Amino acid sequence: MGQRDLILSDQYNHSSLKNGAILSGARVLDYAHCNLEDLKAKLHQHRLFYRRCAIVTDSVFSMDGDLCPLPELLDLAEEFSCMLLIDEAHATGVLGATGAGCVEHFGCQGRELIQVGTLSKALASLGGYVASSAQMIDFLRNRAPSWIYTTALTPADTAAAFEAIGICQREPQRRTQLWQNVTYLKQLISQQLPHLKLGWGRAGNHFPTLPFKTVLAAFTAHGSWVIGPLSWAGIYLNYPIVPLRSVLHSYPVAYNGRLILYRQLCMVP
């Protein structure tokens, strides 16, 4: 990508995607979050004036816990001769029959796209990956400075990532437990904190991110009134990264017992 190219980026993409798009030198335009009509309008308006075009999206948007409309995005990419890059950072390990992410969840394997992700979240290692056609991978190996001039993963990190992938494939009960925890936490919130407005994402909030839309309104000037009690309960907030009067998110994990989930919820004001 360069100055003669166009990147259309979901407005809620995380900062790594946004910064990467800017560093490419291409023109970058945001489209409204998961809004296919807005994306299509921008493609109609701009696509013909650029050599290449890439649609860039998170698969799971961590702030709202919703999924991108991947099949429809692929259809638009094919219609307008665009590349599609999807970042699976928050879906790897938890979505799909084997934990392979949003592409597997929607059954889009084999369609033309660039699938990227991290080995440092659900897989608890280091580094990342790119999955695409053999031609694209060969191009990146020979033309991407971030690949050419970086240090290779250590054998230990590589082995840890391989084993984590194996665990995802061999032990689906971990994902089953995760979804059970999500369901339990939703029920607790509805019963114990009915005044809170939950942010249910696309497809019934299929991802285990539960945004509480009103909680942080209780913040004082520096948020300490809420941050202190929550941190004592093992709930940590990154203020000012999380803005005042914004949202509070819960990320249940597979090994959380119900007592832990209940105890943490009881600390929410």
- Rounded to two decimals, the pTM is 0.80
Evaluated on CA atoms 26, 31, 34, 37, the torsion sign reads negative
Per-residue pLDDT tens for 87-106? 999 899 888 999 999 999 99
Residue 267 has pLDDT above 80, yes or no: no
Q: What span, in angstroms and rounded, lies between the C-alpha atoms of 267 and 265?
A: 5
Residue 153: CA count within 13 A, CB half-sphere? 16
CATH number of the domain located at residue range(s) 6-169 in this protein: 3.40.640.10
Other beta carbons within 10 Å of 117: 25
Domain boundaries, the chain: 6-169, 173-266
Greater model confidence, 36 or 244: 36
Q: Which residue has the tokens 């191009």?
A: 139
Q: Which residue has the tokens 């790119």?
A: 130
Beta bridge partners of 61: 66
CATH number of the domain located at residue range(s) 173-266 in this protein: 3.90.1150
Per-residue pLDDT tens for 118-148? 999 889 899 999 999 999 999 999 988 888 8
**Banded pLDDT at 182 (limits 50, 70, 90):** confident
| The pair of three-digit structure tokens given for residue 210, joined into one six-digit string | 């539960």
Residue 234 has pLDDT above 80, yes or no: no
